[in-house]
Amino acid sequence: MRRGGAEKPRRDIAATSSRSSLRARLPAVAAFDLIIMLGTVSNLADPHAARTHCHRLLRVGGRLYFNLPLAGSWPARLYGSRFWMYSPSCCTFMSLAGCRSALTRSGFLLRRDTTDYQMPTLAKLVGHLKLRAVHPWLERLGLARLSLPVAWPVPGVQSILAEKVS
């Protein structure tokens, strides 16, 4: 967690948070109804181990919600190895069929897959468009942290909802 990141949830919703290792604090098995991993799955060095861990943490009927860039999407085909939004941080790309197969092998059932909608900040949009020279101007004008007023579809990214079935 980023320094100071634990303070905002405490202020906004009176939540308890800390800067310690999350894995060390998690219960061993079947304690959760929902695990959310947004912007995470494609950055995992071992996605199978992560799915296995999520499976262990969820009760039967529990849900796993995540998003991921699809390998066969039109942006992926268009940009190839320079898949603009994700390179070089992502280490895993899957097709929707591959995602479904991986979930099934891990004891999950794909319940829903839809286009991912987000409300990115202007700074994030400028970064994705490789217009970094504009970023200092956004900061000076106080616009960098502003988000678009509506969620818009992210090309090539799917939101996945899976259920633990076994």
Q: Which residues contact 88 (CB under 8 A, 6 or more apart)?
A: none
Amino acid at 84: W
- What would the two tokens of residue 166 be? 């076994």
Instruction: For residues 161 and 89, give the distance between their C-alpha atoms in angstroms, rounded to a whole number.
Output: 23
What are 61-102's pLDDT values in tens digits? 999 999 988 888 888 888 776 665 555 567 778 899 999 999
Residue 125 lies in a domain: no
Residue 11, pLDDT > 60, answer no
Residue 92 belongs to a domain: yes
Residue range of the domain that includes 52: 7-118+152-164
The answer to the question of residue 18 being in a domain is: yes
The predicted structure's pLDDT at residue 31: 84
Give me the chain's average pLDDT, please.
82
Residue 129 within a domain: no
Provide the token pair at 115. Answer: 């286009």
Count of domains observed in the chain? 1
Domain assignment present for 114: yes
pLDDT of residue 8: 46
In 3D, which of 108, 113, 110 has the Cα closest to residue 56?
108
Domain of 52, CATH number, reads 3.40.50.150
DSSP 86: T
Q: Which residue has the tokens 């939101």?
A: 159
First-to-last C-alpha distance (Å) of the chain: 32
Structure tokens at 87: 């390179």
Q: What is the largest CA-CA distance in the chain?
A: 53
Q: Cis omega (within 30 of 0) on the bond before 153?
A: no
Residue 103: other Cβ atoms inside 10 A = 22
Structure tokens at 48: 């199978």
Q: How would residue 17 be classed by pLDDT, with cut points 50, 70 and 90?
A: very low
